[in-house]
Amino acid sequence: MQTHITHYEAVIDGKLAASVTGGRIEMVCPSDGQIFATVPRCDAADVGRAVVAARRAFDKDGWPATPSVERGRILSRLSSLIRENEDELAALESRDTGKPLRQGRADIVAAARYFEFYGGAADKVTGETLPVQTGFLAMTLREPHGVVGSVVPWNYPAQIMARVAGAALAMGNTLVMKPAEDACLSVVRIAELALEAGLPAGVWNVVTGLGEEAGAALSNHPELDFLTFTGSPEVGTLIQTAAAKNHIGCTLELGGKSPQILFADADLEAALPVVLNAIIQNCGQTCSAGSRLLVEASHLDTVMERLRQSFRALVSGPHDRDLDLGPLINAAQARRVADFAEDAAKAGVPLIAEGTVAPDSSQHGFYVPARVYGPVPLDARLAREEVFGPVLAVIPFRDEAEAVQIANGTEYGLVAGVWTRDSARAMRVARAVRSGQVFVNGYGAGGGVELPFGGFKKSGHGREKGFEALREFSALKTIVVSHG
Ligand code: NAD
């Protein structure tokens, strides 16, 4: 059966726009490898048009001067429009990324929540008055950077778009966003809805295109005032280099190898479903996936047995079947996950169990079974490197000190989980672990609109989400008044 192909457009200066060259990118559904949509293949000329529009919207049309309450109302209206269109957007996100429909829906609900949060927060950003010498009044103001460039990955297009756009626009910045060529349709649709919500032309532009073309043109554009990126460490280096050349700030979010630390006194019934979800969610393609499970050695056998049962029951299949896992995003990602499996087999890392792929799944989809390995030696790639797939590494530890040492023993530091009934130990470990977020007796892979999010070490720098993002997307100005 022939798949119907829908054509989406970029959003430049308040209008739906094709690329100057007319070039297009075909969008492939990861569940069956079929082309089902196209988007413009924007290049440097299109990025240039978008930056000119964003600059004008910032400098001349007065987006930063629009009362913050009005900026907030527009974002709140966008939140409502996303909710009104939830079914369409959830189906689109699910088909574009391959994630099970309920996850696509959760991501769209989260996107609406970001715009609701930042819509409400827009008029609540305040400065300080500072005690200085008698005869002076000193104060600080938070001002937008100007034109922000944003490069968004394919794993959570709607959520990552919304956490950037919500905070950046609420603060009065204007935005040029380059979503990923592998999945970007919810981003263009929601930017279109933003026009309907009353967002003025040029305030938020979306240029679809390839990373090395549109992404590179955007990040190197000399007219940007700030850059933000989520994605691979390799591209993160390019983004930071571009920011350095243009002497602008940037935030980077580059993934992780996040540990969940399971002490023998933990409530296993509560912990194990959360541990499982934290690695299978979005087929493991989550920067904050809980990809290492550190288990107190006295409990290793019990935990491995429980995981064996759970992983054997997991089924991967097409997004619209809404099974435990969908496919990976593309063939390259499937190759990457297969490489880790081949490497683990060669190195003799024990496979505890694997799930299955639903037998009626298309052979053109990018499916892998969920896998759990253990005990994984500390020098194995699986214990150190981000797989970005549904692969859990179980690693035993003897005591609290060793647990912290192993938790901190990778290049990354994004999220951690601590499971124990001993609250003093929970606090000690939470403080000792070098991660941007630590959950005690819980875990929030990818979640938490209200919670500042970002990395220590090579997981990146800067914080998005929560109120903190409003500080990140603004610059502090100090004003001193001499009044005698
Ligand atoms: P990527 O970093 O190449 O892609 C992310 C975004 O960067 C996309 O929009 C892409 O178009 C853009 N990009 C690519 N090259 C660029 C360039 N030269 N200049 C500017 N922008 C550019 O990620 P990927 O290749 O799709 O995935 C590779 C690996 O990255 C994954 O296996 C995973 O480990 C990691 N990853 C991490 C996250 C995360 O959330 N931390 C997200 C996606 C991928």
Residue of 339, 257, 336, 333 whose CA lies nearest to 97: 333
Task: pLDDT band for 447, please (50, 70, 90 cuts).
Answer: low
**pLDDT exceeding 90 applies to what percent of the chain?**
98
What average pLDDT does the segment 205-225 reach? 98
In the predicted model, is pLDDT for residue 1 greater than 80?
no
Is residue 213 within 6 Å of ligand 1 at its C-beta?
no
42 noted as active-site residue: no
Calculate how far, in angstroms, residue 413's C-alpha sits from the geometric centre of ligand 1.
18
Helices (H), 232-267: 233-245
In the predicted model, is pLDDT for residue 370 greater than 90?
yes
Q: 57-63 contacts: CB < 8 A, separation 24 or more?
A: 57/174, 57/200, 57/201, 57/202, 57/203, 58/144, 58/146, 58/147, 58/173, 58/174, 61/200, 61/201, 61/202, 63/169, 63/172, 63/173, 63/174, 63/200, 63/203
User: Domains of the chain: which residue ranges?
Assistant: 6-254, 259-447
**pLDDT exceeding 70 applies to what percent of the chain?**
99
460: number of Cβ within 10 Å: 28
Is residue 150 within 6 Å of ligand 1 at its C-beta?
no
User: 389-423 burial by CB neighbour count: b if 16+ within 10 A, else e?
Assistant: bbbbbbbbbeebeebbebbbebebbbbbbbbbeee
Cα first-last separation, the chain: 81
What residue's CA is closest to ligand 1, atom 14? 211
Is residue 238 within 6 Å of ligand 1 at its C-beta?
yes
Q: Is the CB of residue 129 less than 8 Å from the CB of residue 461?
A: no
- The hierarchical CATH code for the domain 6-254 is 3.40.605.10
Rounded to whole angstroms, the Cα distance separating 161 from 158 reads: 5
What residue's CA is closest to ligand 1, atom 42? 231
What average pLDDT does the segment 223-247 reach? 98
Looking at the CA of residue 178, tell me the nearest atom of ligand 1: 9
Fold (topology level) of 259-447: Aldehyde Dehydrogenase; Chain A, domain 2 (3.40.309)
Same fold: 6-254 with 259-447? no
What average pLDDT does the segment 320-337 reach? 97
| pLDDT on residue 401 | 98
| pLDDT on residue 2 | 67
What average pLDDT does the segment 77-100 reach? 98
In the predicted model, is pLDDT for residue 446 greater than 80?
no
Rounded to whole angstroms, the Cα distance separating 269 from 343 reads: 32
29 noted as active-site residue: no
| pLDDT on residue 3 | 77
What amino acid occupies position 226? F
In the predicted model, is pLDDT for residue 199 greater than 70?
yes
Is residue 295 within 6 Å of ligand 1 at its C-beta?
no
Name the one residue in this structure whose structure tokens are 């990861």: 30
Q: Please state, rounded to an integer, the average pLDDT across all residues of the chain.
A: 97
What average pLDDT does the segment 95-119 reach? 98
Distances (CA, A) of 95 to 184, 188, 192, 265, 396: 11, 15, 19, 42, 38
| pLDDT on residue 197 | 98
| pTM, 2 dp | 0.97
What average pLDDT does the segment 145-153 reach? 98
Calculate how far, in angstroms, residue 460's C-alpha sits from the geometric centre of ligand 1.
14
What average pLDDT does the segment 363-389 reach? 97
| pLDDT on residue 445 | 66
User: 432-443 burial by CB neighbour count: b if 16+ within 10 A, else e?
Assistant: bbbbbbbbbbeb
If you ran DSSP here, which 8-state letter would residue 372 be given? E
Helix (H) / strand (E) element for 360: namely: none
Looking at the CA of residue 179, tell me the nearest atom of ligand 1: 9
Q: Which of 287, 386, 464, 472 is catalytic?
A: 287
Q: Is the CB of residue 335 less than 8 Å from the CB of residue 367?
A: no
What residue's CA is closest to ligand 1, atom 40? 287
378: number of Cβ within 10 Å: 13
What average pLDDT does the segment 367-396 reach? 98
Name the one residue in this structure whose structure tokens are 């099974």: 323
Q: Is the CB of residue 243 less than 8 Å from the CB of residue 249?
A: yes
Calculate how far, in angstroms, residue 231's C-alpha sits from the geometric centre of ligand 1.
4
| pLDDT on residue 448 | 86
